[in-house]
Structure 1
Amino acid sequence: MTGGGPVIRADGRPAGHVVVAEALRISGRERRAVFGSAVLAGAAALLVGGGIVAGAFAASWGLFLEAGRAAERSIAYEESYVAYADQWDDLVKVACCVYPLLLIVALVLMAWLLTAQAVTVAHARARAAAGTDPGALTLRALWRRSRPHLGAALRVQLLTLVCALVPGLAGLLVLAAVAMELVPGVVWPTYHDPATVRFILVGRILPVVIWGLGLVLLARLAPATAVRVADTCSATAAMRRSWTLTRTARLRTTAICLLGTGAVAAAFAVLKWLGTYVAHGAGLLMLAATGDNVWVTGVLVLITPVAVALVLLPLVLAPTGVVLACLRERLDGSAGDARVPSGAPIG
């Protein structure tokens, strides 16, 4: 197809570099909507996620203070001690309450980001097809158009998480079975017993293969939110449609998703490194506020770089969402072209 339509390879599949190039163009042209939605997501992560973490610190405050007092007593009496020895179980209980709440926040924000970018791509396509310039998409208009899709988009994220847990837990189960010596003939290597061929195959290669299949599964479900926005269908129907669209472009879809995942991972690493400077200042303030309690300060310094990276990560996730929406447009266009009879005009 030529003109404004999708660029299709000779084998009927969309060209991957064209999808990424188009996503970059749309991200630049509709930057107010793309990065505005990312700023909103980051602000929500800071307020809601930060509130959850602050509540966890408040709930654990007495435990941290008691850990500090226990350590000081042991040092005064020249006794050995283990950090958080008597507080560990209660701290784990607090963490088990905090992590699910943070996961829910992450799923909601992912649903918002992917929905907003699908709406933005649809607006950009309609803007180009009309041949006129109605103006950039405002945040208010973006919210109005995205709001009807958010419930279904959240269900898509929940179903995708369930699908991701299956291969993720299966790989961990293989490692646990090997570690507990439940696999006949496979023994975990030690200093005196090097790794055997069986261990390398079962304990190293097999989990990686399982997780690799999980990544392919996620890649094929990645355009589901954009499908929901385009077709206004249910969450399960959107996931089935995404699976169907990516059937003829498995490798290309996986490559594009891996590229996006690599970009997000690299950005996370850089943002986490920048967060260490914030952690230093936060640690000094916590020391001053708690009378040099290194036990609560140490935990704060550990989580601050990750928190900073997660708050700023939507700025990278938003363009990635544009890529997925463009991918859905290209796959849907190629599927439509495939249904056109031979000799029929393609507009």
Structure 2
Amino acid sequence: MTGSSPVTGSDDRRAGPSVVAESLRITGHHRRPVFGSAFLACAAALLVGGGIVAGAFAASWGLFLEAGRAAERSIDYEDSYVAYSDQWDGLVKVAFCVYPLLLLVAMVLIAWLLTAQAVIVVHARERTAAGTDSRGAPGTLTLRALWRRSRPHLGAAFRVQSLTLLCALFPGLAGLLVLAVIDMGMVPGVVWPTYHDPATLRFILVGRMLPVVIWALGLVLLSRFALATAIRVTDSSSATAAMRRSWTLTRTARLHTAAIHLLSTAAVAVTFTVLRWLGTFVAHWAGLLMLATTGNNVWVTGVLVVITPIAVALVLLPLVLAPTGVVLACLRERLDGRAGRALVSPGAPIG
């Protein structure tokens, strides 16, 4: 009789829906800690992120007012003008200070969400293992208990996010470098298309497809390291060890992992699009309020109207990131269980 490996392509196809179904079951049974942690992240994003953006507007206030006065003078003298022509350098300096702070806030919140959902999945497994024995079953996971169990892992989870971002940053910058080199005309035979000169086949291959392929490599790296936080929670390993373990586990079921990540990414992207559309209604009233408080300064109002829908979507995005964290934690458990069974039953012929 010959044994068979538990990690097979058909097994991956059967297990894919079960991971999603299991995550939905855990999310439904433990919706209070799942969405409670998400609401905490939303509140932190609103207060901290909103404070950073408000500080940026305060720092740029004089630049926006000067842009409005310069435009009004040009209109009075019937001269042509370029928006923010004299204020652009100052606005860029403010942006370079704000974007890293917002990225830091996002990394902290993602570390919290992934850690909290991994703790919730572990708690759900503990309750399942206890069965009907009410004396041995753990109690309800409150937000206070969730914070207490998550707090020891947050530092390592943040390091995981930092290292993952650093790994994905190289393909991201490489794709932008390709576009910059083409824009400067440094690639022979590849010219940026204009209104009169349509895109050539060389430009489509080098200027369109090549950056997409490079950026796709960054997405692959993100997916291969996505289980590291859940591994840290269960194994209490270091950030680098958890990332190595995540890389090893996802290698055993590439198609299964890719399908789960594509489904999760699609859910996040669709939710972000819907929330950004809803944010346009907030932007309308925010723009009217800004016009009333700035004496019809369209320059600062225009910037506010542009960023408000994105800000609304980002603030509310933890509501879908939390269930996604449950999916990743369940996927870690499934792949880890398969790896353990593969060690016990490696699939070699048994005499």
Task: Please state which band the TM-score falls in when normalised by the shorter chain.
Answer: over 0.9
The aligned counterpart of 1:279 is 283
Task: Determine if the alignment matches structure 1 residue 251 to structure 2 residue 265.
Answer: no
The aligned counterpart of 2:43 is 43
Is contact 1:278–1:304 with CA below 8 Å preserved after alignment? yes
TM-score w.r.t. the length of structure 2 is 0.92
Question: What SS class does the counterpart of residue 252 from structure 2 fall into?
Answer: helix
Q: Distance in 2 between matches of 1:81 and 1:98?
A: 27
The aligned counterpart of 1:16 is 16
Higher relative contact order (CA 8 A, sep 6+): 2
Residue type of the alignment partner of 2:36: G
2:267 equivalent among 263, 270, 275: 263
The aligned counterpart of 2:93 is 93
Task: Determine if the alignment matches structure 1 residue 55 to structure 2 residue 59.
Answer: no
* Count of aligned pairs: 337
User: CA offsets per residue over residues 237-268 of structure 1, 9 Å max, x none?
Assistant: 00000001111111211221111111111101
Is contact 1:9–1:15 with CA below 8 Å preserved after alignment? no
The aligned counterpart of 1:71 is 71
The aligned counterpart of 2:118 is 118
Q: Distance in 1 between matches of 2:164 and 2:175?
A: 17
Is contact 1:111–1:154 with CA below 8 Å preserved after alignment? yes
In the TM superposition, residue 180 of structure 1 has moved relative to its aligned partner by 2.1
In the TM superposition, residue 222 of structure 1 has moved relative to its aligned partner by 0.6
Question: What SS class does the counterpart of residue 82 from structure 2 fall into?
Answer: coil
Task: Determine if the alignment matches structure 1 residue 182 to structure 2 residue 186.
Answer: yes
Task: Determine if the alignment matches structure 1 residue 148 to structure 2 residue 189.
Answer: no
In percent, how many aligned pairs have the same letter?
A: 79
Q: Distance in 1 between matches of 2:102 and 2:179?
A: 27
TM-score w.r.t. the length of structure 1 is 0.93
The 3 A distance-change label for structure 1 pair 59 and 143 is same
2:306 equivalent among 299, 302, 307: 302
Residue type of the alignment partner of 1:322: V
Task: Determine if the alignment matches structure 1 residue 327 to structure 2 residue 331.
Answer: yes
Q: Distance in 1 between matches of 2:57 and 2:290?
A: 12
The aligned counterpart of 1:217 is 221
In the TM superposition, residue 150 of structure 1 has moved relative to its aligned partner by 0.2
Is contact 1:152–1:234 with CA below 8 Å preserved after alignment? yes
Q: Which runs of 5+ in 1 are unaligned?
A: 1-6
User: CA offsets per residue over residues 284-325 of structure 1, 9 Å max, x none?
Assistant: 111111111111111111111111111100000000000000
User: CA offsets per residue over residues 88-110 of structure 1, 9 Å max, x none?
Assistant: 11011011100000000000000
User: CA offsets per residue over residues 131-159 of structure 1, 9 Å max, x none?
Assistant: 04544311000000000000000000000
Q: Distance in 2 between matches of 1:328 and 1:94?
A: 40
The aligned counterpart of 2:292 is 288
Residue type of the alignment partner of 1:215: L
Q: Distance in 1 between matches of 2:196 and 2:345?
A: 68
Q: Distance in 1 between matches of 2:178 and 2:54?
A: 36
Residue type of the alignment partner of 2:78: E
Is contact 1:112–1:150 with CA below 8 Å preserved after alignment? yes
Residue type of the alignment partner of 1:252: H
Question: What SS class does the counterpart of residue 344 from structure 2 fall into?
Answer: coil
Is contact 2:126–2:138 with CA below 8 Å preserved after alignment? no
Residue type of the alignment partner of 1:69: R
In the TM superposition, residue 279 of structure 1 has moved relative to its aligned partner by 0.9
Q: Distance in 1 between matches of 2:227 and 2:154?
A: 15
The aligned counterpart of 1:3 is none
Is contact 2:7–2:252 with CA below 8 Å preserved after alignment? no
Q: Distance in 2 between matches of 1:242 and 1:79?
A: 61
The 3 A distance-change label for structure 1 pair 64 and 137 is same
Q: Distance in 1 between matches of 2:338 and 2:155?
A: 29
User: CA offsets per residue over residues 60-115 of structure 1, 9 Å max, x none?
Assistant: 11111111111111111222111111111101101110000000000000000000
Question: What SS class does the counterpart of residue 79 from structure 2 fall into?
Answer: coil
In the TM superposition, residue 8 of structure 1 has moved relative to its aligned partner by 6.8
Residue type of the alignment partner of 1:175: L
Q: Distance in 1 between matches of 2:36 and 2:7?
A: 32
Q: Distance in 2 between matches of 1:16 and 1:10?
A: 11
Is contact 1:8–1:15 with CA below 8 Å preserved after alignment? no
